[in-house]
Amino acid sequence: MKYVALLRGINAGGNRRVPMAELREIFTDMGFTDVTTYINSGNVVFSAQSKPSAEVIRKKLEATFQFEIPLLVLSAEHIRRIAEAIPKEWQNDTVQKSDVIYLFPDIDSPDIINSIGYRPEFETIHYVSGALISNGTRENRPKSSLVKLIGTPLYRRMTIRNVTTARKLAELVQ
């Protein structure tokens, strides 16, 4: 069965560097097959005989790279379900910014919308199991709830990908 590991907070601004070739090698050495990465932000698509443990993967990555790497491991079905919930007209272009905010299990609840300070006058956010899907104009982005979340404890329990990446991951697990 196919899975996606979403690593949080790597290769951003030249910090917490994780080379993708090395990341693929680690996953292969752990016994996973069909290992591939998508872009440099820590998206690993792989196959496993049984449901992989995010905790085991996290410990291996942290031992290798010597810094904390929170991560989610989602099944292909879950990745597809989230991507299918993105409204087709939501894109990343010069006018709009659309993201998928993947939620760690301890904050995964429809009530999360209330916890993030949702601002419907500036953004639209939908909850789907495992994620929030966000859309707004680039002009209003500085006023959005996501910008205000940065650096908070809640923000550290989510990992964000733009909708282009979310859709591509769903395609890669087919």
What is the Cα–Cα distance from 82 to 75, expressed in whole angstroms?
Answer: 11
- pLDDT of amino acid 39: 95
- pLDDT of amino acid 15: 78
User: pLDDT, tens digit, for every residue of 40-66?
Assistant: 989 999 999 999 999 999 999 999 999
Which residues 6+ apart lie within 8 Å of 12 measured at CB? 41
Helix orientation angle between 20-29 and 54-65, rounded to the nearest 10 degrees: 130
Task: Tell me if domain 2-78 and domain 84-163 are identical in fold.
Answer: yes
With a pLDDT cut of 70, the percent of the chain lying above it is 100
DSSP 156: G
- pLDDT of amino acid 30: 98
Q: How confident is the model at residue 12 (pLDDT cuts 50, 70, 90)?
A: confident
How remote is the C-alpha of 47 from its chain's centroid? 18
Q: Please say whether the beta carbons of 18 and 69 come within 8 A.
A: yes
| Mean pLDDT of the region 144-151 | 91
Which of 41, 33, 40, 39 minimizes the C-alpha distance to 3? 33
Q: Name the average pLDDT for the chain.
A: 96
Residues pairing with 74 in the sheet: 4
The CATH code that applies to domain 2-78 is 3.30.70.1280
What is the Cα–Cα distance from 28 to 35, expressed in whole angstroms?
Answer: 7
With a pLDDT cut of 90, the percent of the chain lying above it is 93
Q: Is the pLDDT of residue 19 over 80?
A: yes
What is the Cα–Cα distance from 146 to 86, expressed in whole angstroms?
Answer: 17
Which of 168, 106, 97, 171 minimizes the C-alpha distance to 133? 97
What is the Cα–Cα distance from 101 to 127, expressed in whole angstroms?
Answer: 9
- pLDDT of amino acid 173: 98
User: pLDDT, tens digit, for every residue of 56-94?
Assistant: 999 999 999 999 999 999 999 999 999 999 999 999 999
Locate the domains of the chain by residue range. Answer: 2-78, 84-163
The CATH H-level superfamily of 84-163 is bacterial protein sp0830 like (3.30.70.1260)
